[in-house]
Structure 1
């Protein structure tokens, strides 16, 4: 199952980029034997300042056709890392070819796009900068692959 991260904004070079790249490289190595990956990043920018609605339209166009869509949203479900790993495995085992994780901009994800999603996840009740959400999602993807592979990375 291919993984897509569809996000508002461009991740420039710096510590966040280095972390995302590191975790996604690890995920690709550990996930491929599990039929997870590769990860493709789809970054969109609303240069005209149209707000959440314009960002939602750009994100919708970036979604691969037929992909399972999961938004990252403070109102989403809170899962443990093993539950997240199991969710990915279930999607894969159901024959899903693509899963797309959607990360909105500073104002979040437009309600219409949230309503169309197949799933919604929260990384906690606090609001996180969208650039850090990418880092946290990349780490959880790697952790999920490690859990599914029985590797010692996850110790909980």
Structure 2
């Protein structure tokens, strides 16, 4: 099952980009034997500054057809890392070929797009910088693959 991070804004070269690339590469390596990956990032940008309502159709087009959609949202559900791994495994085992994680812009995800999501996931009630949220998500994808592989990366 392929993992897609669909996010508003362009990530420039730098330490966050290096971390993101590293964790996505680790996810691909670890997940391959588990039927997970590859992982990809699709970045969209509303150059006219129309906010959530202008970003929503751009994000919607970035989501692969038939994908299980996870909206990253502070009002979403909090999961432990093993629960997150289980969510991914359940979708893979159900025969999904794509899972898309949607990260909105500065104002979040438009309500109509958020309502279409299959699941809403939160990293807590704090608001995180968008670029850091991408890194955190990529690390959790790698951690999930490690948990499913029985590797020692995740310790309880």
Q: TM-score range by the shorter chain?
A: over 0.9
What is residue 64 of structure 2 aligned with on the other side? 64
Cα displacement (A) at 1:49: 1.1
Q: Distance in 2 between matches of 1:48 and 1:105?
A: 13
What is residue 119 of structure 1 aligned with on the other side? 119
Runs of 4+ in 1 over 4 A off after TM superposition: none
What is residue 83 of structure 2 aligned with on the other side? 83
Q: Distance in 1 between matches of 2:65 and 2:40?
A: 14
What SS class does the counterpart of residue 77 from structure 1 fall into? Answer: strand
What is residue 148 of structure 2 aligned with on the other side? 148
What SS class does the counterpart of residue 96 from structure 1 fall into? Answer: coil
The C-alpha deviation readout for 1:88-122, integer Å capped at 9, x for no partner, is 00000000010000000111101110001000100
Q: Distance in 2 between matches of 1:87 and 1:62?
A: 22
Within 5 Å, which residues of 2 pair with 1:40-55? 40-55=40-55
Q: Distance in 2 between matches of 1:127 and 1:33?
A: 34
1:128 equivalenced with 2:143 (yes/no) = no
What is residue 20 of structure 1 aligned with on the other side? 20
The C-alpha deviation readout for 1:52-107, integer Å capped at 9, x for no partner, is 00111100011111111110000000000000000100000000010000000111
What SS class does the counterpart of residue 57 from structure 1 fall into? Answer: helix
How many residue pairs get aligned? The number is: 156
What SS class does the counterpart of residue 146 from structure 2 fall into? Answer: helix
The C-alpha deviation readout for 1:19-57, integer Å capped at 9, x for no partner, is 000100100000010001001111000001111001111
What is residue 34 of structure 1 aligned with on the other side? 34
Structure 1 residues not aligned, in runs of 5+: none
